Amino acid sequence: MEDCLAKKMEITVSEAEKRTGRNAMNMQETYTAYLIETRAVEPQSEGQCAPVDSLWRRYSEFELLRNYLSVTYPHIVVPPLPEKRADFVWHKLSADNMDPDFVERRRIGLENFLLRVASHPVLCQDKIFYSFLTQEGGWKEMVNETGFQLKADSRLKALNATFRVKNPDKRFTELKHYSDELQSVISHLLRVRARVADRLYGVYKVHGNYGRVFSEWSAIEKEMGDGLQSAGHHMDVYAASIDDILEEEEHYADQLKEYLFYAEALRAVCRKHELMQYDLEMAAQDLTSKKQQCEELATGTVRTFSLKGMTSKLFGQETPEQREAKIKVLEEQIQEGEEQLKSKNLEGRDFVKSAWADIERFKEQKNHDLKEALINYAVMQISMCKKGIQVWTNAKECFSKM
């Protein structure tokens, strides 16, 4: 298998910059642009590193890229983008898109997205993706020229298929159910986690008040004064420590969010299967009805009620020539239909095979990544506990000197 792009090229989203410009309606707007830097991995000559190429992209271009990939590779679980708007925020975090912390976390998320695509065996080979990383000008036009928007399935069509499909592959049905549940449970988790963070922040910050009152109290004490004063300092340290702790936890939340959005990508693949399957079923149904019509015309028996049949009964039978012509048309259509059905069947099977392969790849990636995320989370908690023990031990020592 060909090495994926990630192994050949170093990709980073290294900077974010606020820009002002004019939008499509010629109104002034502020947006953030992100600097994508790329560099070939193998050094050009001894000890020398390859030069760095760079270009600026904004979030909407990333969106365009992802839409293109989703439509062009419907059997692939396409990596998701970081959230468009800040969601699941706890009170201290800002929901403002321009907030530097949000921008920073988004920068990391976008870099992660590019790395995911670049390490995907199929997606990394896409030319549009490569141009996204390397070609500054004219990329948008290039994407639009592929005409991918025309290939996109309408939401309505997809919804219709979901409800009406009769025989989807059971695995996809199960997978869709799983992705629904996954989305629900991760959303819940993120919501509660945000509330937990909020409350924890409160607990730590209130301890800061001890610092001030111990200091005031120490002023009227003789022997107890020093101990109180220094203990108060440790309370201040304790109160301040929560900021870093919670900032680190945001990274954990981002890791969970990625998989929340991945659930959507999974569902998209399942929907595509349902659509294809529905299409197939419709085509088969259509073929069957045409065959039936043909048979009826040929044998003269009416098995199914049809308005045409009734009207011809009422207004007289058609001529044998007319009937012959009709049969001929139908036979042509039937032949076409059979070919179409064959290719649709093939398409469907191919889709199922390649989609399922990618799904298996995705499952392994998910299990690996989430395990890592949980381990990191546990490590963070351990670090927080150790800091707590340290601070209170220091405070205890100060109290013992009172």
Residues that bind other proteins (CB under 8 A): 178, 181-182, 185-186, 188-189, 192-193, 195-196, 198-200, 202-203, 206-207, 209-210, 213, 216-217, 220, 223-224, 227, 231, 367, 370-371, 374-375, 377-379, 381-382, 385-386, 388-389, 392-393, 395-396, 399-400, 402
Assigned token pair, 1: 């298998």
- Closest listed residue to residue 381, CA positions, set 219, 178, 136, 193: 193
Q: For residues 164 and 363, which CB has a smaller minimum distance to other proteins in the complex?
A: 363
- Min. distance of Cβ 351 from other proteins in angstroms? 25
Q: For residues 207 and 344, which CB has a smaller minimum distance to other proteins in the complex?
A: 207
359 Cβ neighbours under 8 A, 6+ residues apart: 77, 175, 266, 269
Alpha carbons 167 and 161: distance in angstroms, whole number: 11
Q: For residues 151 and 188, which CB has a smaller minimum distance to other proteins in the complex?
A: 188
- Min. distance of Cβ 174 from other proteins in angstroms? 11
- Min. distance of Cβ 393 from other proteins in angstroms? 6
- Min. distance of Cβ 370 from other proteins in angstroms? 6
Q: For residues 99 and 180, which CB has a smaller minimum distance to other proteins in the complex?
A: 180
Q: For residues 56 and 178, which CB has a smaller minimum distance to other proteins in the complex?
A: 178
Q: For residues 98 and 385, which CB has a smaller minimum distance to other proteins in the complex?
A: 385
- Min. distance of Cβ 96 from other proteins in angstroms? 25
- Min. distance of Cβ 256 from other proteins in angstroms? 10
- Min. distance of Cβ 102 from other proteins in angstroms? 23
- Min. distance of Cβ 202 from other proteins in angstroms? 4
Long-range contacts of 128-137 (CB under 8 A, 24+ apart): 128/65, 128/68, 128/69, 128/72, 129/5, 129/65, 129/69, 130/5, 132/57, 132/61, 132/65, 133/9, 133/11, 133/36, 133/38, 133/55, 134/38, 134/53, 134/55, 135/55, 136/55, 136/56
- Min. distance of Cβ 59 from other proteins in angstroms? 30
Q: For residues 351 and 377, which CB has a smaller minimum distance to other proteins in the complex?
A: 377
Long-range contacts of 361-367 (CB under 8 A, 24+ apart): 361/121, 362/77, 362/262, 362/266, 366/259, 366/262
- Min. distance of Cβ 181 from other proteins in angstroms? 5
Amino acid at 63: E
- Closest listed residue to residue 259, CA positions, set 397, 381, 80: 80
Q: For residues 19 and 199, which CB has a smaller minimum distance to other proteins in the complex?
A: 199
Q: For residues 125 and 367, which CB has a smaller minimum distance to other proteins in the complex?
A: 367
